[in-house]
Structure 1
Amino acid sequence: MDSVRKTSNSFVSFLHIFIKFLLSCSLSPVFGSAIVLRNSHHRNCRHSLSLRRYLKNFALQLLHKPVMDNIEAKQQRLDNFKIGSLPNVFYIPDFITDADQTLLFNNIYAAPSSKWKLLKNRRLQNWGGVVHEKGLLPQALPPWLTNFTHKISEESGLFPSPINHVLINEYQPNQGIMPHQDGPSYFPVVAILSLGSPVVMDFTPHARLKLDSQVIDKESDGETIEIVKDKWLDDHRPFSIILMPRSLLIFKDNAYSDYLHGIKDCEVHDYDGAVNEAEALKHSESYRHLFGSEDKEETIGKEECKNISRTVNRVSLTCRLVPKVHKNC
């Protein structure tokens, strides 16, 4: 693989040099005039101009094609990680290694206590600067963060420029965050890197998409229970995603603008019906103490409870791009 990569890089370098040569030729009247037949002055000028235009267009096509091919290749790879019914939600398990997670933990908890901001239901670190309605007052991200933000940008291909803002949230087992949207200050792509405890993140359509509510009677253990079921515009519907340690969640466009996302503030999360439920089952052996054990099995009717016991803290890195940046004076 390394030899193939080196060969590919050498070819790309050669291609860029060749393109620059063609562009310089296409802009040079001397080159154009030197290679056309000199039957007449007007014919030479006409041929020279046509050749310069041809070379310029050819060079630009060569320059443009590798970029487009690279973008398409990244999109095809990312499409393998689509989950749920929305086309703009991607879940990548094991995006980083155990060693990466340890490195991040070490750097996060090495920060001075003044870096932490204590909120009602979590505490956080703000990296990259202060975001307000007029844009970002920037501060450079530290290298231990840019190593990962660059990996996210490069492998997803969804950010038009480097990620410049990261919020690090720490949640204790009984803490969460209310349903919310990230707002218009950010480019409409969010990448969330999860560390520590697994959790379930719930997505709910925005209130403006709600049509009405319907009360449904359901029989359970000989009793009738009334369940309120909401109806949504354009077939929008709530959904949930299990976020395992070291995974990356990306959502964008209508998943960003039409949905609120949040985490319930409780120690046990139900993942029944989660759009990536198979991911939890795949990890259930590795995280048996979190997904329950034989002495904790419960049933609802004839179905096994599907829940996650949050026994350790969760840390998340919310990586975003603020397009409007104030220049430092």
Structure 2
Amino acid sequence: MTTSIENALISQAPPSLYYIPDFITPEEESYLLKQVYAAPKPKWTQLSNRRLQNWGGLPHPKGMIPEDLPQWLQTYSQKIAALGLFEDKVPNHVLVNEYLPGQGIMPHEDGPLYYPTVSTISLGSHTLLDFYRPITETQAGDNINTNTETSKTSFEDRYLCSMLLQPRSLILVRDDMYKVNLHGIAERKEDTITDSVVNLCKCDGVKIGDKLERTTRVSLTIRYVPKILKAKLFLGKKR
């Protein structure tokens, strides 16, 4: 682990959250947004509260049939791998999410399909990423919430903290903050900064009490899928 990534650790949060402001330049941000919106229409999947693109293959409990990432994503996958939090692995899967103002995602886990570290680059707008304890320790241990968006019931009393994700920043989540706790984005058009934002010391120009208006945000969630299958295995079964 490099000294720079150690400096990115948020000591005010439970283990382990890392935050790097200005991980990419404004020029890189413009380039990445151009690539996202240049993707063909069939690449987009429309959900009720956002739309997304899937790159690298479709993760599945039985394994993912990998597809090569385009060069514009490979570049940042390798840049993130160089930080050392994926050990010797290079992320091989990217989920692109587009959030319009007022859109978000219910608290959820990323689950065991992925190596237990997730990284996200934010483009275009800020957001607040909120963290919560699981509904019960039994459910957490049994992975009942894995890859599902849970109900809104009683999230307030399980709230842990928030991270302000500014445009061009990188967040990395690992340890219990990945494996046990839930994360989500509230559906609102404006965020009020409070002392629950644990990375505020790394966010220039923002202070407690500020109200930040959301615009359209694109996130690149960059992960590593350990379980890989070869397409020819499936083709062989069909014969």
> Which of the five TM-score ranges fits, normalised by the shorter chain?
0.7 to 0.9
Q: Distance in 2 between matches of 1:253 and 1:305?
A: 30
Structure 2 partner of 1:181 = 109
Larger Rg: 1
- AA matched with 1:272: T
Give per-residue Cα distances to partners, 1:51-98, cap 9 Å, x unaligned: xxxxxxxxxxxxxxxxxxxx4xx1x32111111232321001110111
Alignment of 1:1-329 (within 5 A): 71=1, 74=2, 76-83=3-10, 84-209=12-137, 230=157, 238-273=160-195, 274-280=197-203, 282-284=204-206, 305-310=209-214, 312-329=215-232
1:209 Cα shift?
A: 4.4
State percent identity of aligned pairs.
Answer: 42
- AA matched with 2:221: T
Give per-residue Cα distances to partners, 1:143-202, cap 9 Å, x unaligned: 010001100001234243211100000000110011000011101000011111111110
**Residues 92 and 248 of structure 1 are in contact (CA less than 8 Å); yes or no, is this contact kept in structure 2?**
yes
Normalising to structure 1: TM-score of the pair?
Answer: 0.62
Equivalences, count: 214
**Residues 81 and 91 of structure 1 are in contact (CA less than 8 Å); yes or no, is this contact kept in structure 2?**
yes
Give per-residue Cα distances to partners, 1:270-328, cap 9 Å, x unaligned: 22010012344x234xxxxxx9xxxxxxxxxxxx7332111x20000001000010023
**Residues 159 and 321 of structure 1 are in contact (CA less than 8 Å); yes or no, is this contact kept in structure 2?**
no
- AA matched with 2:231: N
Gaps of 5+ in 1: 1-70, 211-227, 285-290, 292-303
Q: 1:326 to 1:229 in 2, by over 3 A?
A: closer
Q: Distance in 2 between matches of 1:176 and 1:188?
A: 23
Q: Distance in 1 between matches of 2:156 and 2:61?
A: 36
Q: Distance in 2 between matches of 1:283 and 1:129?
A: 39
1:229 Cα shift?
A: 7.6
Runs of 4+ in 1 over 6 A off after TM superposition: none
Gaps of 5+ in 2: 139-154, 233-239
Q: Distance in 2 between matches of 1:271 and 1:117?
A: 32
Q: Which has the higher contact order (CA 8 A, sep 6+)?
A: 2
Normalising to structure 2: TM-score of the pair?
Answer: 0.84
Structure with higher helix content: 1
**Residues 24 and 169 of structure 2 are in contact (CA less than 8 Å); yes or no, is this contact kept in structure 1?**
yes
